[in-house]
Amino acid sequence: MKRTFAILLRNPLSLLGLVIVAVVVLSAVFADFITPFPAHAGAVVDFANFNKAPEWPYVMGTDLVGRDLFTRIVYAYRISLILGVVVLVLAVPVGVAIGLLAGYLGGWTEYLLMRLTDVFLSIPPLVLAMSMMGVLEPTLTNGMIAVTAMWWPWYTRLVYNLTRAEKEEGYVLAAEIIGASRLHVMFREILPNCVPSIVTKMTLDLGFVILIASSLSFLGLGVQPPTPDLGSMVADGAKYLPDSWWLTVFPGLAILVAVFGFNLVGDALREVLGAEQ
């Protein structure tokens, strides 16, 4: 763990990624203290300062009802991160468990579980999430459910393939010959060997979950106003391009930077953990 961290710090790109991720996460956590107008995260109207180009104290300008854009972007990060973490916390255990079962038990179990997974994978993710959001009410909770529903199959695929490879290793046979239970073999022998790949994918995915959640809210199917959300901010501002460019450019950049940061860290982790094995 220590060594992994040391290698990450040595590579300039992964260092940049770590810095971005740290800044995004810390600013989201401490949003109440670092933003100039915390009240602007909610339903506030200030027509004296509406639609202002970036100027002090509105470093990124204000939106159409006079709220500070910088404040809203930081709070939107908070929502996005909560959504990303919740989605992964829900999707990863489900996907991992199904992948382990299918990969280790084989036979009919494998057939049923993997075909089910294929069904989910065969629907374009955005279409699946859109149709779910169309049926459900567009709230943050339902957004999480929709994104979770499209996310777990990727972990099933990953863990299924890893399990199939690990199953051939001698240590699995050794545990079976000793008489260990299937649960022990799956969760105590095979799973620990899948953890590096799972952690790497989770880091990469945190960025992608933010992206897909933004896409949904861009289409009006995500978080609803007045809760700040990067996707809906871009969508709302797009109508006023190019005059009020800050309405779109800053939230858009915010998405880009966050996704980029998580990707850099994920890529670096993949290299470091891959080389370890």
Residue 180 CB, nearest approach to another protein (Å): 5
What CA–CA distance (Å, rounded) separates 184 from 232?
46
Stretch that binds another protein, among 1-9, 116-124, 177-185, 264-272 (CB under 8 A): 177-185
Nearer to another protein, 99 or 222 (CB): 99
Q: Is 169 in the site for another protein (CB under 8 A)?
A: yes
Candidates 88, 153, 127; CA nearest to 216 is 127
Q: Is 242 in the site for another protein (CB under 8 A)?
A: no
Residue 175 CB, nearest approach to another protein (Å): 6
Residue 97 CB, nearest approach to another protein (Å): 18
Q: Which residues between 180 and 219 bind another protein (CB under 8 A)?
A: 180-181, 184, 188-189, 192-193, 195
Candidates 240, 250, 273; CA nearest to 54 is 250
Is the alpha carbon torsion for 170, 174, 179, 185 positive or negative?
negative
Residue 3 CB, nearest approach to another protein (Å): 13
Beta bridge partners of 36: none
Residue 8 CB, nearest approach to another protein (Å): 21
Q: Which three-class secondary structure state does DSSP give residue 55?
A: strand
Q: Is 1 in the site for another protein (CB under 8 A)?
A: no
Q: Applying CB under 8 A, which of residues 12, 57, 170, 242 lies at the interface with another protein?
A: 170
Question: How many residues appear in the chain?
Answer: 277
Beta bridge partners of 55: 58
Token couple for 51:
């639609």
Exposure of 142 in the CB half-sphere (CA atoms within 13 A)? 18
- End-to-end CA separation in angstroms for the chain: 13
Residues at the site binding another protein, with contacts judged by CB under 8 A: 169-171, 173-181, 184, 188-189, 192-193, 195, 277
